[in-house]
């Protein structure tokens, strides 16, 4: 009934898996019929501390009873604390708060373009931003305009000019693409939606050197990979890279609210002046209070250490026990993808088979199953989940003689 209502009254821009969730606690979800599922998605890495974390709920409830929203025409008593903490924790001089990751990316695009004109001296309307094939930075017109995914672009043009795409993981391609009009290189530390693609070792560090040498800003999108997901506080830390601009989101809101931010130093961010950019809900005291508690939890519990250890374990077990339908296992920390042979099992069907066994995940890029549980998952629960995943995929592989499994 509920799924039928959603289908009838809602726009058809999503195709949800056949389940209706009602409640969540820790790493678990329950549907309306009371069946329990292991959450191996974390709302695309937004629920890093698990569902209904008591400290995050307390921060949310306490602040909601005092002041939830006020215009940025005034200051509130939570936002300054959040801005200072963000800058101190990540080593930047300025932070600009918004709501969604898409907003944070758009904020970065606007800022680096204005920096190119006001600081670098690029001629008006000539600034160019380089991005990577296979990227996913959001779904606005500007962002899908720099996508290489045909579906994301189909029917939405014309797109704003000023973007150039290069292969992901190819630092030589970046160097060759830079011109005097290049403002910035926008890159994901790991491509999530693109199929959990980890770049070659040394890639990000070399890109940072190329950008520095050419007076090009390196902007790293860590909306999905940041805040411990890949086994470090930031994924770019794996190569010792400190970008010129950092985009955060998802987990910053504790799985309760949309909270995102763009961080940069004053030399970049101070090109913005009152009226240049804004957001009604960006920097609201409710979101700031929750984000502050998230940062407290990060510092106190260091969940990236659990992610590093269990991520290695997850990838090793998946690779060692891989049935014939699996062609590759890749990832970093607790952001892991299984590449499937579509002749045996397509990824969308794989996600439905896992859902029927109590594992909630989702396919991406047509052939990849992604696994990104809350960072608070423990060894025993993860191992039990891996057992189910391997058994489900092995069962599907044994049925391959009957032809491809597809929906």
Domain residues of the chain, as ranges?
A: 2-52+303-400, 54-301
Q: What is the pLDDT of residue 111?
A: 98
- What lies within 8 Å, CB to CB, of 206 at 6+ separation is 171
Determine whether 21 is an active site residue.
no
Residue 245 sits at φ, ψ, to 5 deg, of -145, 140
Residue with tokens 């005034």: 74
The tens place of each residue's pLDDT in the chain, 407 residues long, gives 899 998 889 899 888 899 999 999 999 999 999 999 999 999 999 999 999 999 999 999 999 999 999 989 999 999 999 999 999 999 999 999 999 999 999 999 999 999 999 999 999 999 999 999 999 999 999 999 999 888 889 998 999 999 999 999 999 999 999 999 999 999 999 999 999 999 999 999 999 999 999 999 999 999 999 999 999 999 999 999 999 999 999 999 999 999 999 999 999 999 999 999 999 999 999 999 999 999 999 999 999 999 999 999 999 999 999 999 999 999 999 999 999 999 999 999 999 999 999 999 999 988 999 999 999 999 999 999 999 999 999 999 987 655 555 54
Residue 63's contacts (CB-CB under 8 Å, 6 or more residues apart) are: 78, 285, 286, 289, 290
3-class state of residue 25 by DSSP: strand
Task: Kindly give the pairing relationship between strand 163-166 and strand 128-132.
Answer: parallel
Distance CA 52, CA 57 (A): 6
CB 134 within 8 A of CB 168: yes
Alpha helices by DSSP H, 191-255: 203-213
Q: State the residue for tokens 């959001």.
A: 138
Note the pLDDT of residue 44.
95
CB 45 within 8 A of CB 251: yes
Fold of the 54-301 domain = 3.40.640
Sign of CA dihedral 219, 362, 45, 261: positive
Q: Which residue has the tokens 């950019």?
A: 277
250 is catalytic: yes
Q: How much is the pLDDT for 405? A: 53
- Among 148, 153, 134, smallest CA distance to 191 is for 134
Which residue is catalytic, options 49, 90, 92, 136? 136
For the segment(s) 2-52+303-400, the CATH number from 3.30.1330.40, 3.10.129.10, 3.90.1150.10, 3.30.160.20 is 3.90.1150.10
Q: Decide if 167 contacts 220 (C-beta within 8 A).
A: no
Q: What is the pLDDT of residue 394?
A: 96
From the CB of residue 312, how many other CB atoms can be counted at a distance below 10 Å? Answer: 15
Choose, from 250, 262, 362, 371, the residue flagged as catalytic: 250
Side-chain-side CA neighbours of 186 within 13 Å: the count stands at 32
pLDDT score of 80: 98
Residue 217 tokens, joined: 């800003």
Following DSSP, what letter does each residue of 179-206 receive, concatenated?
-TTEEEEEEESSBTTTTSBPPPTTHHHH
**Edge-first strand listing for the sheet containing 182-188:** 94-98, 260-264, 245-248, 217-221, 182-188, 128-132, 163-166
Q: In the prediction, which pLDDT does 337 show?
A: 98
CA 82/CA 98 separation, integer angstroms? 12
Measured CA to CA in angstroms, residue 307 lies from 295, 299, 311, 320, 381 at distances of: 17, 15, 5, 19, 14
**Does pTM surpass 0.85?**
yes
Residue 114 a catalytic site member: no
Which of 4, 2, 5, 8 has its CA nearest to residue 20? 2
Query: Is residue 130 classed as helix, strand or coil in its secondary structure?
Result: strand
Active-site position among 49, 185, 221, 362: 221
pLDDT at position 401 is 52
Cα dihedral sign, 228-230-233-235: negative
Whether the link from the prior residue into 158 is cis, omega within 30° of 0, is yes
Q: Do domains 2-52+303-400 and 54-301 have the same CATH topology?
A: no
Question: Which tokens in the block code for residue 272?
Answer: 């913005």
């Amino acid at each position: 009934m509920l799924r039928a209502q959603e289908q009838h009254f809602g726009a058809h821009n999503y195709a949800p898996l056949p389940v209706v969730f009602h409640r969540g606690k820790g790493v678990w979800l329950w549907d309306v019929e009371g069946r329990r599922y292991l959450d191996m998605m974390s709302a695309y890495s937004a629920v890093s501390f698990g569902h209904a974390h008591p400290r995050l709920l307390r921060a949310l409830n306490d602040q909601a009873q005092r002041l939830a929203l006020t215009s940025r025409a005034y200051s509130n008593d939570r936002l300054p604390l959040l801005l200072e903490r963000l800058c101190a924790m990540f080593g930047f001089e300025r932070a600009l708060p918004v709501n969604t990751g898409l907003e944070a990316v758009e904020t970065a695009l606007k800022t680096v373009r204005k920096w190119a004109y006001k600081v670098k001296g690029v001629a008006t309307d000539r600034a160019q931003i380089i991005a990577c094939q296979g990227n996913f930075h959001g779904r606005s017109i500007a962002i899908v305009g720099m996508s290489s995914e045909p579906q994301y672009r189909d029917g939405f043009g014309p797109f704003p000019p000023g973007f150039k795409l290069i292969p992901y993981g190819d630092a030589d391609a970046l160097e060759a693409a830079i011109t005097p009009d290049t403002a910035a290189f926008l890159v994901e530390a790991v491509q999530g939606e693109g199929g959990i693609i980890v770049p070659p070792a040394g890639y990000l560090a070399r890109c940072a050197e190329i950008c520095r040498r050419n007076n090009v800003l390196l902007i790293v999108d860590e909306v999905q990979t940041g805040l411990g997901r890949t086994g470090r506080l930031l994924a770019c830390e794996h190569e010792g890279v400190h970008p010129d601009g950092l985009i955060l989101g998802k987990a910053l809101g504790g799985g309760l609210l949309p909270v995102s931010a763009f961080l940069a130093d004053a030399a970049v961010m101070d090109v913005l002046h009152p009226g240049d950019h804004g957001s009604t809900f960006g920097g609201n005291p409710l979101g700031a209070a929750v984000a502050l508690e998230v940062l407290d939890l990060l510092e106190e519990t260091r969940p990236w250490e659990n992610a590093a250890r269990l991520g290695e374990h997850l990838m090793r077990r998946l690779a060692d026990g891989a049935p014939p339908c699996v062609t590759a296992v890749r990832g970093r920390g607790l952001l892991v993808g299984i590449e499937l042979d579509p002749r045996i099992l397509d990824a969308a069907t794989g996600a439905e088979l896992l859902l029927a066994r109590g594992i909630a995940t989702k396919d991406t890029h047509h052939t990849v199953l992604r696994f990104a549980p809350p960072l608070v998952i423990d060894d025993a629960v993860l191992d039990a989940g891996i057992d189910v995943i391997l058994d489900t995929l092995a069962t599907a592989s044994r049925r391959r003689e009957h032809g491809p499994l597809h929906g």
